[in-house]
Amino acid sequence: MSKILIISDTHQNHKLLDRVLSSNKDCDFLIHLGDEPDDLEYHPEHTANMQIFSVYGLYHRNWSPKTAVLCFSIDGVDFMITHAMDYLNETKKNCIHCFGHTHHRYFSQEENKVFLNPGHLKKETDRNEIAGYAVLDFANGKTITYYDYSGNPLFSHKIKAW
């Protein structure tokens, strides 16, 4: 079963990004929710063994409404990712919907839909939110754990089976 690192809003902060990537090398997948997924190109030593899914942020030169949402499956679980939740015009049942942009951690489960935002890695604190990320661990019963940028766990949620 897979382990998925979910990050957003790195904004060229390679110090925080390096810290998070180097401490999560055991993850099989990496989801970057925009505002500078290009930052990953500077850390190949940490991402070489991860399959990466990413979307551009609203202010990226390659962002387009046509490519604002990416859908894929991992271990039979559907994901829909975007930078800004506004572009989740449709949501799917039995799906994990990931978004960034706000720089604030978020988790919600509504029957057979999950919505999550891992926070940001822009700087140690931004918009009154400490930098952080999330890890979704399928081996641990589909548990999503949120961490601060130093790797300290903040809180966890079990994703209910659907």
- The amino acid that residue 51 corresponds to is Q
CA 32 – CA 119 distance, rounded (Å): 11
Say which residue the tokens 């990466």 belong to: 52
Show the domains of the chain with their CATH numbers.
3-158 (3.60.21.10)
CA 113 – CA 162 distance, rounded (Å): 9
CA 146 – CA 57 distance, rounded (Å): 21
| pTM across the whole model | 0.97
pLDDT at 122: 97
Say which residue the tokens 């960034």 belong to: 100
103-136 exposure pattern, b = at least 16 Cβ within 10 A, e = fewer: bebebebeeebbbbbbbbbbeeebeeebbbbbbb
Give the pLDDT confidence of 59-105 residue by residue, as tens digits: 899 999 999 999 999 999 999 999 999 998 889 999 999 999 999 99
pLDDT at 111: 83
Model confidence band, residue 162 (pLDDT cutoffs 50, 70, 90): low
CA 101 – CA 156 distance, rounded (Å): 21
Give the pLDDT confidence of 97-141 residue by residue, as tens digits: 999 999 999 999 988 899 999 999 999 999 999 999 999 999 888
